[in-house]
Amino acid sequence: MLRTTYDAAIIGAGPNGLAAAITLARAGLAVIVFEAHDTPGGGARTQELTLPGFLHDVCSAIYPLAAASPFFRSLPLEQFGLEWVQPTIPLAHPLEDRTAVLLERSVEATGISTGCDARAYRRLMSPFVTQWEVLVQSVMGPLRLRPLLRHALTTAPFGIAALSSAQMLANWQFRGERAKALLAGLCAHAQLPLNQPISAAAGLMLGVAGHACGWPFPRGGAQRLTDALVAYLRSLGGEIVTGVEIKTLAELPPARVVLGDITPRQLLRIAGQRLPAGYQHSLQRFRYGPGSFKVDFALDGPIPWKASACLQAGTVHVGGTLAEIAASEEQVAKGVHPERPYVLAAQQSLFDPSRAPEGKQTLWAYCHVPSGSTVDMTERIEAQIERFAPGFRDRILARHVWKPADLERYNANYIGGDINGGMQDIWQFFTRPTIRPVPYTTPVKNLYLCSSSTPPGGGVHGLCGYFAAQAVLRRYFRETAMALRM
């Protein structure tokens, strides 16, 4: 039976909403979470999208930031059924010469794969891998001067590189096309033109994470991560209500605080009348990023990559050279649909047989498109994969297509198909969602944001929810202490 009052009510049961709920429940607060879908999960769900027996991750699929997250690592999720699968190689990047650049767990081995840039790659990445824990604690979160200054010998060089454009960093560090292509594929995750400042940040974090903790995924599908988070929350006494869309704050039960795993647009819709006009105006100026066009494939067998090493990788970046990937991302930013899109592909069933019937395979693939695009990119995605794997189309048994509008209907946070909770350019990287000393707060005393529209932004790591909950606890316990003194 549900309570009549709560310490905290949370809108949205994605990874960040669940992270906020768990953090508050661990502190002894009474917490309830509301989810519009029939099942929790947000961007971490698994369904049979194509054919019976083929399990496809609906949105997110590969989890280097989840494996790196200090918050997730602090939870006993393995006790609640979560098992990480580590592919033999985290990432492969095929090239036209029938070879692939490989991001391996070893910095040394990855350097060798880059060819002439082996020493340069080691020189760039080794210091950050060695100081990985320091980086995670310092940069994966809101802007905090104390840890940045305390570890300045590590964070300063990383910050200089991360604030660069991907193209500048690639041309500054490397001579050959192999290393440049690898870096370009990593940096393009940011969904920014590769000539923009800070477009190198995401690529550096993902590359270092690949060496430090791999690019794993949950055995059985992304849903298993959600299931473990939900089970742990319930073990702490937290409650979850599914199938209920919160349209106004008045629909929530009485609670001391409300946290929204939602983006600024939904916050305006749900709480607009209670927000000061100036803050509303700031939220209205929040910019969303490009959309995503996703295709899930049921395959009759493994993809016939020209570079057979790609079959050892859980993730494959399909896009060719630095110049090609940069051109693709630049076109998307200008509202153009590239003929040769940069494609992110995951082949989990190679390492997790539970994902497909015996002898069959799944493929998860998407490309970037202009926000709200209605153009069907299926043929272009397939052509890009066929380019590096002739005969790929002959393996296709079925496909399931998600256009940006489909993604937004499925998850209201994906505005125009933006899966990152908003543009993460150099301005919004430091001011998401608005300029405030504590970015999770709003001018309404008991109302907080905890979605990927807050620091540290997109990715399945739970840290937006964790830091938002920490902000709640600081205020909650301060007020409780004051009340006790009175």
pLDDT for 463-476, tens place per residue?
999 999 999 999 87
Helix/strand/coil (H, E, C) string of the chain? CCCCCEEEEEECCCHHHHHHHHHHHHCCCCEEEEECCCCCCCCCCEECCCCCCCCEECCCCCCHHHHHCHHHHCCCHHHHCCCEECCCEEEEEECCCCCEEEECCCHHHHHHHCCCCHHHHHHHHHHHHHCHHHHHHHHCCCCCHHHHHHCHHHHHHHHHHHCCCHHHHHHHHCCCHHHHHHHHHHHHHHCCCCCCCCCCHHHHHHHHHHHHCCCCEECCCCHHHHHHHHHHHHHCCCEEEECCCCCCHHHCCCEEEEEECCCHHHHHHHHHHHCCHHHHHHHHCCCCCCEEEEEEEEECCCCCCCCHHHHHEEEEEECCCHHHHHHHHHHHHCCCCCCCCCEEEECHHHCCHHHCCCCCEEEEEEEEECCCCCCCCHHHHHHHHHHHCCCCHHHEEEEEEECHHHHHHHCCCCHHHCCCCCCCCHHHHHHCCCCCCCCCECCCCCEEECCCCCCCCCCCCCHHHHHHHHHHHHHHHHHHHHHHHC
- For residue range 12-65, what is the model confidence (pLDDT) as tens digits? 999 999 999 999 999 999 999 999 999 999 999 999 999 999 999 999 999 999
Q: Read off the tokens for 68.
A: 């790196």
Confidence of residue 146 (pLDDT cuts 50, 70, 90): confident
How many angstroms separate the Cα of 163 from the Cα of each of 40, 136, 155, 159, 179?
A: 35, 17, 12, 6, 19
Q: pTM for the complete prediction?
A: 0.95
Per-residue confidence (pLDDT) for residue 484, from 0 to 100: 36
- 272 or 41, higher pLDDT: 41
Q: State the pLDDT at residue 481.
A: 41
| Interval 350-403: pLDDT, tens | 999 999 999 999 999 999 999 999 999 999 999 999 999 999 999 999 999 999
What does the pLDDT read at residue 483? 46
The four Cα atoms 126, 129, 134, 139 give a dihedral, to 10 degrees, of: 100
Q: Report pLDDT for 145.
A: 66
296-354 pLDDT per residue, tens: 999 999 999 999 999 999 999 999 999 999 999 999 999 999 999 999 999 999 999 99
pLDDT at 486: 39
- What is the predicted pLDDT for the residue at 480? 56
What integer pLDDT is reported at residue 272 of this predicted model?
A: 85
Q: What is the pLDDT of residues 183-224, one digit of tens each?
A: 999 999 999 999 999 999 999 999 999 999 999 999 999 999
Enter the CATH code of domain 6-46+218-287+423-485. 3.50.50.60
Share of the chain above pLDDT 70, in %: 97
Q: What is the residue-averaged pLDDT of the chain?
A: 95
C-alpha span between 30 and 49 (Å, rounded)? 36
> Per-residue confidence at 485, pLDDT binned at 50, 70, 90?
very low
Query: What pLDDT shows up at residue 137?
Result: 86
Residue 478: the pLDDT is 67
